[in-house]
């Protein structure tokens, strides 16, 4: 049956996830560990929250509730646009939080946001580089704030301004992966920002190429369309160190707040462990990429 929106990057991404098949391997298998180490800290799962913003339309104090859920699951929390008071409330939950900053046209404002995030005690900071342009080819405007693409020298200056790890989000090519390393980034997020551009390549399609470029020098994260532990497994097998989950936790957040978020993270982690056990994957650093097989001509 022909899809009604062949240009929809989210649908293309879902189709690619579903085109990936997984071998079973049972001999010499063990109970797997889903422990995840990042920037000197250890977490129970590689399932992280996505860098979401403005969740009050989902649930009152939604960003804080999401952080509480992540903390309860001992998972990494990410945060996007928020004001200073909200960031303080998020970090006060105890959740180890990564703060992603938009590519504002005003670089001085970016430096101030980095400094404030540091004072709040976040685990890392970063920039959402794929939000620089609108669909009309002009500079993007997000909630009235003007954006602008950043050059390699500008990214270097942001990275040099902080002692925290700096992550570049929105990498969807080997070229940008090379540049992220050159800039001194301490992590990248492979993402098309849930279809910010039509016909974007699925993150998992380009992930092996990007992972080869990075060559384990810095962590590689993936987001967009990850809905289950099986999706998490496929991303890890193809080169990701961890994944970010957003839409999958929206309904649990809406219905049950932080407990719903925690329970969803735990469930996805259990699903991941189930696939790991059946593929002879003893931990998340030892998943053999050859267990992944392709169908449908990808």
Helix and strand counts by DSSP (H, E) for the chain: 9, 14
Q: What is the DSSP letter of 32?
A: -
pLDDT of amino acid 298: 65
Q: What is the 3-state secondary structure (H, E, C) of 215-284?
A: CCCCCEEECCCCCCHHHHHHHHHCCCCEEEECHHHHHHHHHHHHHHHHHHHHHHHHHHHHHHHCCCCCEC
Nearest to 260 by CA among 58, 63, 65: 65
Ramachandran category for residue 217: left, alpha or beta (phi over 0 → left; psi -120 to 50 → alpha): alpha
- Residue 49's beta-bridge partner residues? 245
Judge contact between 94 and 71, C-beta under 8 A. Answer: yes
Judge contact between 41 and 96, C-beta under 8 A. Answer: yes
Q: What is the 3-state secondary structure (H, E, C) of 107-160?
A: HHHHHHHHHHHHHCCCCEEEEEHHHCECCCCCECEECCEEECCCCHHHHHHHHH
pLDDT of amino acid 81: 94
> Catalytic residue at 294?
no
Radius of gyration (C-alpha) of the chain in whole angstroms? 18
pLDDT by residue for the chain (298 residues), tens digit each? 445 689 999 999 999 999 999 999 999 999 999 999 999 999 999 999 999 998 999 999 999 999 999 999 999 999 999 999 999 999 999 999 999 999 999 999 999 999 999 999 999 999 999 999 999 999 999 989 999 999 999 999 999 999 999 999 999 999 999 999 999 999 999 999 999 999 999 999 999 999 999 999 999 999 999 999 999 999 999 999 999 999 999 999 999 999 999 999 999 999 999 999 999 999 999 999 999 999 976 6
How do 41-43 and 36-38 pair as beta strands?
antiparallel
pLDDT of amino acid 54: 87
Q: Is 83 helix (H, G, I), strand (E, B) or coil?
A: coil
Which of 26, 71, 193, 294 is flagged as catalytic?
193
b/e map 169-185, b = 16+ CB within 10 Å: bbbbeeebbebbbebeb
C-alpha separations of 86 from 70, 117, 124, 179 in Å: 16, 11, 17, 32
Cβ neighbours around 96 below 10 Å, total: 22
CA atoms within 13 A on the CB side of 62: 22
Report the predicted TM-score, pTM, of the whole model to 2 decimal places. Answer: 0.96
Distance CA 22, CA 272 (A): 13
Question: What's the start-to-end Cα distance of the chain, in Å?
Answer: 18
Distance CA 183, CA 9 (A): 28
pLDDT of amino acid 3: 55
Judge contact between 169 and 126, C-beta under 8 A. Answer: yes
* CATH topology (fold) of 9-294: TIM Barrel (3.20.20)
Q: The tokens of 14 are what?
A: 């879902």
């Amino acid at each position: 049956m022909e899809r009604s929106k062949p240009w929809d990057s989210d649908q293309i991404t879902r189709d690619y996830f579903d085109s990936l098949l997984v071998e079973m391997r049972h001999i010499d298998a063990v109970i797997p560990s889903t422990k995840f180490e990042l920037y000197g800290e250890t977490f129970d799962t590689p399932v992280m929250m996505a860098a979401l913003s403005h969740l009050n339309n989902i649930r009152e104090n939604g960003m804080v509730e999401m952080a509480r859920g992540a903390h309860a699951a001992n998972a990494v929390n990410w945060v996007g646009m928020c004001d200073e008071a909200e960031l303080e409330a998020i970090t006060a939950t105890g959740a180890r939080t990564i703060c992603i900053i938009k590519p504002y046209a005003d670089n001085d404002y970016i430096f101030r946001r980095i400094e404030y995030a540091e004072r709040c005690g976040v685990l890392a900071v970063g920039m959402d580089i794929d939000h620089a342009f609108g669909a009309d080819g002009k500079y993007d405007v997000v909630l009235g704030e003007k954006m602008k693409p950043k050059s390699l020298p500008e990214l270097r200056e942001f990275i040099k301004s902080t002692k925290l790890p700096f992550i570049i989000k929105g990498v969807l090519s080997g070229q940008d992966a090379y540049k992220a390393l050159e800039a001194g980034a301490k992590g990248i997020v492979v993402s098309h920002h849930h279809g910010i551009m039509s016909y974007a390549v699925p993150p998992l399609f380009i992930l092996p190429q990007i992972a080869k470029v990075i060559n384990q020098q810095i962590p590689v994260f993936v987001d967009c369309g990850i809905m289950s532990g099986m999706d998490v497994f496929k991303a890890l097998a193809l080169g990701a160190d961890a994944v970010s989950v957003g839409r999958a936790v929206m309904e649990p957040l809406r219905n049950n707040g932080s407990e719903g978020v925690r329970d969803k993270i735990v469930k996805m982690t259990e699903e991941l462990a189930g696939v790991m056990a059946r593929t002879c994957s003893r931990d998340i650093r030892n998943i053999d990429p050859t267990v992944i097989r392709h169908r449908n001509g990808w």
